[in-house]
Structure 1
């Protein structure tokens, strides 16, 4: 009887380990997380530079979108029209489901009394999380 319970316990542990390992494997099965995040972050910034806020909103994490509807989120976006370019510079993934991204954003501003535009490039830091089978931008992290 004791041997039977021991075998069932071992089988349960094996099943849990298999599911956990399978979940980790599926996280990386469709590519390198850093590469996937880099592509999605670049696509989000391409949409922002073009002024396509609907597309950019689609890259926000599902939980964030549930808390902040599009119209409310849109009111807090400042930079459309002055952003000229954005390029993903670095992606570091300290955990299997978290990546930190640095994007170099170039802006062009008309400065009163100078008469010509001022162009500057600034790093923007983002946190991306893996949820529900895809990578999402999580603002405010």
Structure 2
């Protein structure tokens, strides 16, 4: 059974990023699990947030810390002034690593229970258009006169 059997009258699919489907009225999650159809939905007017999930990049931060420590040692013992550039690069790596990398996006709604939050997590790879459209819908939901898609 496909996602098309779950569409209601005058509803059409606007964007898809399987197993997620954005229709004119709802956000759907439809997938085939062990021969049975799993189907969940959130009305567009019920979405409150699309949160960006980030994780700190420990590899970059480790490299930055090693650079900072080694450059300070080189400057203190050998008096190498050029190690100052390595010190700056290390600090930049620490800041860059602390900002982290995006691992995905979490759709939030009062209709989603805590146990179902993982089910509504969008992967980062290939979901840019999908996430931008969802964020636009959430912003328009905060207005007093939301539009339908």
TM (norm. structure 2) is 0.25
Give the alignment's TM-score, normalised by structure 1.
Answer: 0.26
The structure with the larger Rg is: 2
- Compare relative contact order (CA 8 Å, sep 6+) and give the higher one, 1 or 2: 2
